[in-house]
Amino acid sequence: MTVSDRTSTDRRRGIALIGSTGSIGTQTLDVLDRLRDRFELVSIAAGNNVALLADQIDRFGPRFAVHNHPESPPARKRPGTQYGYGEAALIDAVTRPEVDIVVIASAGHTALKPACEAIRAGKVIALANKEIIVCAGQIIMPLVQEYGVSLRPIDSEHSAVWQAIGSNPPASISRIVLTASGGPFRTTPIDQLARMTVANALDHPTWSMGAKITVDSATMANKGLELIEARWLFDVEPARINAMIHPQSIVHSLVEFVDGSQIAQMSWPDMHLPIQLALTYPERLATPHRPLDLFSVGQLEFEPLDDTRFPAFGLARQAIEAGESYPTAYSIADELAVAAFLRGEIGFTDIARVLALTLERHHPVNVSTLDDVLGTVAGEERSAVEIIREVATTRAR
């Protein structure tokens, strides 16, 4: 997963940022702001937060900006910036000749086709979007190899694995262990989980993230999605990937090699670090963030991940082991179930119930083309809506 990398003596690298107004997007802009001598924001894209998008455009002056819908342009337009909307504009944003690195920080499936086109255009991909690899890993990774591009993970867990593996081949890896904080319900009695509210689920003990991923951390669906991603990103069978609870969120993941040695990546929980490395690799640059001090941490705790408490994780393993389109069905069901929970339509434990029913009723298809993925996405959206309605009706009785 490598391409030739420019040095700091070359021109500034051009960046396309997809998902600029979310948690990862705003932190990416923090990094770019500090490294203006190395990077230029060429293209920017966001969804519905048009006021923040307008502020970001004023701050960085990109050449091209993409918004979500023709009726919802940025709150004001900047002279010198070209504006567009929709998938065609996203593809334009990521394939422009001035763009060297595409940062995909958006959630969901909107960036799937633009990601493929960016790879075909030879762009470096800095990836924070889970759905792209979960739903289309068997398409994306061969494409990465075919076009010889560099795919650099931004998620703290996958960035940690990427750093730990280094240049070692997949055959040298005995297992990958993803770490999880345990979220807000790590010690909550299991019989009380059904009563947990949206506010409870969003009260994460160590990370500050968007609502969807914070709820995923509470259900441990995020770790299930990361297991599926790791299978494709690092070419390792699901049986050699596991997860454990680590409340301090200092060890971001570890890799065990066939000789029995283990390498872990450690730092304070701060997404600016993996974002910066994805942009500057293979260089490591100084940051204003405090270095890790293990004396102040005091102790590091590790616990097994309990599938009884967190059934969403076990269901993700079932999905990737079943293969075909099951991971896509899992991803779509989780996205819609979390949205329904945030709207108050279903309860917290109903999220896992929706996932289980989705996998039980899914009619798998072989995933060999992007159209296969997009067709499954459309079909599972309809199916998940029906299942959520069914679960919500049962809950209301």
Residue 73, domain CATH? 3.40.50.720
Q: Are residues 388 and 239 in the same domain?
A: yes
Query: What's the one-letter identity of residue 338?
Result: V
Give the tens place of pLDDT for each residue, 31-58.
999 999 999 999 999 988 889 999 999 9
Task: Kindly state whether residue 296 falls inside one of the protein's structural domains.
Answer: no
Mean confidence (pLDDT) of the chain: 93
Task: Kindly state whether residue 292 falls inside one of the protein's structural domains.
Answer: no
Task: Kindly state whether residue 17 falls inside one of the protein's structural domains.
Answer: yes
Say whether 393 sits in a helix, a strand or coil: helix
Q: Is 395 exposed, middle or buried (0-12, 13-18, 19+ CB in 10 A)?
A: middle
Q: Are residues 350 and 212 in the same domain?
A: yes
Interhelix angle for 86-95 vs 112-120, to 10°?
30
Give the tens place of pLDDT for each residue, 186-220.
999 999 999 999 999 998 887 767 788 899 999 99
Instruction: Give the number of other Cβ atoms within 10 Å of residue 57's Cβ.
Output: 23
Task: Kindly state whether residue 287 falls inside one of the protein's structural domains.
Answer: no
Tell me: pLDDT of 119 over 70: yes
pLDDT value of residue 226: 97
Q: Are residues 356 and 210 in the same domain?
A: yes
pLDDT value of residue 397: 63
Tell me: pLDDT of 281 over 60: yes
pLDDT band at 5 (very low <50, low <70, confident <90, very high): very low
Mean pLDDT of the region 300-306: 95
Q: Are residues 259 and 385 in the same domain?
A: yes
Instruction: Give the number of other Cβ atoms within 10 Å of residue 168's Cβ.
Output: 13
Domain range enclosing 236:
159-270+301-396
Task: Kindly state whether residue 224 falls inside one of the protein's structural domains.
Answer: yes
Q: Are residues 98 and 188 in the same domain?
A: no
Q: Are residues 228 and 105 in the same domain?
A: no
Residue 95, Cα to own-chain centre: how many angstroms?
A: 21
Task: Kindly state whether residue 72 falls inside one of the protein's structural domains.
Answer: yes
Q: Are residues 244 and 338 in the same domain?
A: yes
Triad 238, 241, 242: Cα angle to 5°: 125
- The residue out of 126, 153, 180 marking a domain boundary is 153
pLDDT band at 21 (very low <50, low <70, confident <90, very high): very high
Burial 361-370 (b: 16+ CB within 10 A, else e): ebeeeebeeb
Tell me: pLDDT of 287 over 80: yes
Q: Which CATH number characterizes residue 349's domain?
A: 1.10.1740.10
pLDDT band at 70 (very low <50, low <70, confident <90, very high): confident
Q: Using a cut of 0.75, tell me whether the model's pTM lies above it.
A: yes
Tell me: pLDDT of 263 over 50: yes
Task: Kindly state whether residue 1 falls inside one of the protein's structural domains.
Answer: no
